Amino acid sequence: MKKIIVPVDFSSHSEYALQVAATMAKKFKAELFLLHMLDISDQLISITEATKRRELLFFMQLANKQFEQFIDKPFMKGVNVTPVIKHFKVFEEIDSTAKEIDADFIVMGSQGTSGVKGYFVGSNTEKVVRTSDIPVLVVKSKTDKFDPKTIVFGSDFSTENLKAFKTIKAFADKYKATLKLVYINTPNANFKSTPEIREQMRLFLNKTNLSYDSENIIIFNDYSIPEGIQNTAELHNADLIAIPTHGRKGLNKVLAGSVGEEVANKAQIPVLTVKI
């Protein structure tokens, strides 16, 4: 991990994300790219009048000043930072910026379903989770030291999740964290017996060439997958939830519908989503 994007709107929640990202940058020896999107219309961008051009320049200068104040924090000491200012508030800007700089990771703040929704919170965070081709870490609250030691990995343990699992496993290993593998069993058409689930998880682990302690393999029954993942994380005092997603194509068979987005939006602890 060499390049981390942090979308910022200069709110307290984007500062929470910045603090986590700064901790990660120091650990991984990575560079932070702080992405801010100006709310400027096409008309203002394309117009040639001198007054309008001065107005655009003013917004750019204001954003640069806000950046200076925003990163003037003790936890930013020793972190390599590059500001990136885009003209439009569209989510394609995040993907295009990630591709442009060859980023490895996105860390962003979110208020979730409570509070006044700014640009990088609530349903907007869900859009980034859904569309991003690179891992996204969603941060909900102030974290003085991001150092996860228990990570809940929710999956259906089909082979298509192997790549995402390896990414999450490498992340957990970097922090020397315990990775708990969790299958959420619900009372619907996808219901499976415990022996069936254990066999599916065994086959999955065989393909990773890893052996796992039975204490870290969890089958949890709940009314819905999002609730089950969050309840499992709470029960095991997890510091982080990790979920594989299909990105733009939706989520995997067990994590159906908008499960990944819903968990990222509602969970109170950080949520890491990794595209399959």
Domains in the chain with CATH codes: 3-139 (3.40.50.620), 150-275 (3.40.50.620)
- Whole-prediction pTM: 0.86
Looking at the DSSP bridge assignments, the partners of residue 268 are none
Greatest pairwise CA separation for the chain in angstroms: 72
Average pLDDT over residues 205-209: 92
CB 55 within 8 A of CB 28: no
Give the best-scoring range by mean pLDDT among 14-23, 123-132, 182-191.
Answer: 14-23
Query: CA dist 26 to 81, 203, 263, Å?
Result: 12, 37, 27
pLDDT tens for 161-181 read: 999 999 999 999 999 999 999
Tokens of 155: 């999956």
Q: Which amino acid is at 3?
A: K
Distance CA 131, CA 23 (A): 25
| Chain length of the chain | 276
Question: What's the confidence (pLDDT) of residue 118?
Answer: 44
pLDDT, one tens digit per residue, over 77-135 is 999 999 888 766 666 678 888 999 999 999 999 875 543 344 444 456 777 888 889 99
User: For residue 53, is pLDDT > 70?
Assistant: no
- 220: nearest Cα among 201, 206, 205: 201
In Å, how far are 16, 17, 21, 118 from 75, measured between CA atoms?
11, 12, 10, 24
Between 104 and 210, the higher pLDDT residue: 104
Cβ atoms of 146 and 177 within 8 Å: the answer is no
Q: How many CB atoms lie under 10 A from the CB of residue 259?
A: 22
Mean pLDDT of 134-154: 94
185: amino acid identity, one letter:
N
For residue 272, pLDDT beyond 60: yes
Q: What is the pLDDT of residue 91?
A: 63
Q: Is 37 helix (H, G, I), strand (E, B) or coil?
A: strand
